[in-house]
Structure 1
Amino acid sequence: MSRLAASRLTSPAATPMRVARVLIACLMGVSLLSACAERPEPVTSATPTATEDAPGAVAPLTGESAALEILGRPSLAAKIGNDVEARPQRGLERADLVFEELVEGGLTRYVAVWQSQIPEELGPLRSIRPMDPDIISPFGGIVAYSGGQQIFVDQMENTPVKNFIHGQPNADPFMYRSKDKPAPHNVILRAEKLIDDQKGLAAPPTQFEHAETAEGASALQGGTPVATIHATFSASRQQSWAWDATQGVFLRSQQGKPDLDTDGKTRSATNVIVLRVNIDNQYPGVPKTVLIGSGTGHVSTGGQVIPVTWSKTEATAPITLTTEAGEPILLAPGNAWVELVPLISGAEVRFE
């Protein structure tokens, strides 16, 4: 066991749930890999065969109770389109985490990550962008996308993540073009089949910290009431989240209209994380969200919002969230959407 793990077990803040997380991570050999000049090999780990719940064990990306078979499987990240032609996207409602990022023309796309629930199919897959390696590297596991500029593909492949790219031989058994949408909005991933084929990869480390119960979330302990979250990326991408006390979730809208899944239900989130980020324009015409560094933001849970500071030290490190006093932010158990709202003209964040 590492000194860091040991210190977490003996710290005053260590709860039984956190102790269980650390022990499970240590036993399973989960570790963060540092980026290097040579392309790293994906981490492999034996997958537990038992399916019963592990006492005190929680899924690493949601903080919810999980069976051993979930604890042992890798995460699956995918680049998902958010063009009007791409909606409704398949499988997005089952993602543990969804990151929304600015791309060309004021539009947005998603990096979604599945681990606790794996849909049979998901998509449509779109091309990789320069900020995606920084978002995806901390998870390890698998990433699936449709392609991209070679410089960005090379950057993504030079990470501790196993790449599956549409049109490449290793991806052919798991991807196809559907007939219900026009190209390029129709590349679909057979997600369950891919996960079953890649069981030897390690499970992801914990990314965000979670309270043991919803009531213990930081926003509910020290936040203020919020009814609506407005996250405007540009004139053509004005996103919002409205608190629904009946369902106990935030409901998502785009351009003032409900954002619907394939069953006609409005997409929802237990936790909404809004981070203000800088944009690097080193690639002509392709904005890059800057994630290595720090900034400010807000976390909303249970109809309340709390200001936060975010930081990320390197590509393979997770995003860390703390209160203004420097205390760790705890999310409620459940899924989360992360809105990476740029610090540019026309972009803003408002709470009502």
Structure 2
Amino acid sequence: MKTYKGISTALIAAMIAATAAGCSGGNTQESDSTAVSTTAQSEAQESESTPESQSETEAAASLPEGQMYSFLTGEPVDSSIGMQRPVAVMINNIEEATSQQCGTSAADILYEAVVEGNITRLMAIFQDTSKIERVGSVRSARHNYLDFASNYDAIYCHYGQSIYATNKIQQEGLLTVSENVGSAYFQDNTYPAPHHIFASGETLEAGISQIGAERNLPDGYEGGLVFNTEDTDPDYGTIANNVSIPFVYSKSTLEYDSATKLYKKYQYGAPHVDANNNEQLTFKNIIIQYAQYADIPGGSGCQDITLYGEGKGIYITDGKAVDITWERSDGSVPTTYYIEDGTQLKINPGKTYIAVVPENFNITLGE
């Protein structure tokens, strides 16, 4: 068993004790409210190509007409879907709301990070909204998650917002699918407020149309994630058949299944299950991104995460973990991940779980 400790020299703000107010602020309505990422039509670069880049170009060229590799998973998708902006949905992750948590198994990328009171919130990113039968319960925005979503030019969907998220949305002129977009969400009063708000792919598309958001990615768009052309076992690294992330309440863990070559996710001491289909969440890739957390003074425990600059991390796939670094200069570019020799990290095709954790977290890898 190996334990990874975050950057010990960084100044880490103490995690705030649980608070009922939860990052509210004055006007918050919290309760109710790859190289392979190219289309099949892309032309091969005319500059000198390495054998690796040649194989990637050949892989793209071998796709059926009208298909491309997804910017989110590295897997083939119709170009009409792959060139749409993804949607990013804020999802409740407190223990009492997990029995109705749904839509998570359809997500291409799932983020988890600390919000306030040591609780975590999820953000599920979907390339194809037609796969969203029902998603929720939908919860309020946090300003850090707006930065997560902008990594993929995703349309951000939330019900309510902290004052810090409100300020960021207004200052940056962001179009989001909020609780004020009536067509986007519906209530299921089987559950008490604020755990009763849900959406579907159809209602989210209606909400996107209602706010007039641009639906497609810009011409020449390049994703921040780079993918292997096929599943590739790391040729070095630490054995990581079990991954333990010490979020105070959710205590997220992932266990490698060698038969499927996927990681099964657990939280709160039980399988992490999607209520839509009773299936346990599985991921091909795990990215642990260390970042500096700081308690916002007077912010009811709301956390500010330093997501611009650079830091350390761990990439985990196929039972192995390797050290990585990350960097992001500002919100106009995505986070880029690198391996130890300075070349850009390539991840395996498939779904990815990204945990953005404080720098003092000890990540435990087991055999």
> TM-score band, normalised by the shorter chain?
0.7 to 0.9
Aligned residues: 310
1:332 maps to 348
Match of 1:145 among 155, 158, 166: 158
Q: Which amino acid aligns with 1:308?
A: I
Distance 2:102 2:290 in 1: 28
1:41 maps to none
2:72 maps to 61
Q: Which amino acid aligns with 2:182?
A: D
- 1:316 shift after superposition: 2.7
Identify if the C-alpha distance between structure 1 residues 323 and 103 changes in structure 2 by more than 3 Å, giving closer, same or farther.
same
2:184 maps to 174
Distance 2:174 2:283 in 1: 26
2:231 maps to 214
SS at match of 2:150: helix
Q: Which amino acid aligns with 1:147?
A: G
Residues 1:266 and 2:266 aligned together: no
2:362 maps to 348
Distance 1:8 1:311 in 2: 26
* Paired residues for 1:21-36 under 5 Å: none
Q: Which amino acid aligns with 2:238?
A: T
Distance 2:152 2:281 in 1: 23
* Paired residues for 1:59-98 under 5 Å: 59-88=70-99, 89-98=101-110
Q: Which amino acid aligns with 1:64?
A: E
Identify if the C-alpha distance between structure 1 residues 279 and 67 changes in structure 2 by more than 3 Å, giving closer, same or farther.
same
Residues 1:134 and 2:147 aligned together: yes
Q: Over residues 93-124 of structure 1, what are the superposed CA-to-partner deviations in whole Å (9 max), with x where a residue is unaligned?
A: 11111110101111100122110463132111
Distance 1:150 1:330 in 2: 37
RMSD: 2.7
Identify if the C-alpha distance between structure 1 residues 238 and 16 changes in structure 2 by more than 3 Å, giving closer, same or farther.
same
1:194 maps to 204
- 1:267 shift after superposition: 1.1
Structure (1 or 2) with the greater helix fraction: 1
Distance 2:238 2:258 in 1: 15
Distance 2:173 2:81 in 1: 21
- 1:348 shift after superposition: 2.0
2:125 maps to 113
- 1:70 shift after superposition: 1.4
Distance 1:266 1:77 in 2: 20
Identity between Structure 1 and Structure 2 (%): 21
1:318 maps to 334
- Say which is worse superposed, 308-317 or 203-212, in terms of deviation: 203-212
- 1:322 shift after superposition: 0.7
Structure 2 alignment gaps of length 5 or more: 1-41
1:300 maps to 316
CA contact (8 A) 1:20 1:56 kept: no
Distance 2:148 2:132 in 1: 21
- 1:154 shift after superposition: 3.0
Match of 1:122 among 131, 135, 146: 135
SS at match of 1:222: coil
- 1:74 shift after superposition: 1.9
SS at match of 2:227: coil
Residues 1:17 and 2:30 aligned together: no
SS at match of 1:61: coil
- 1:55 shift after superposition: 6.7
- 1:129 shift after superposition: 1.2
CA contact (8 A) 1:233 1:342 kept: no
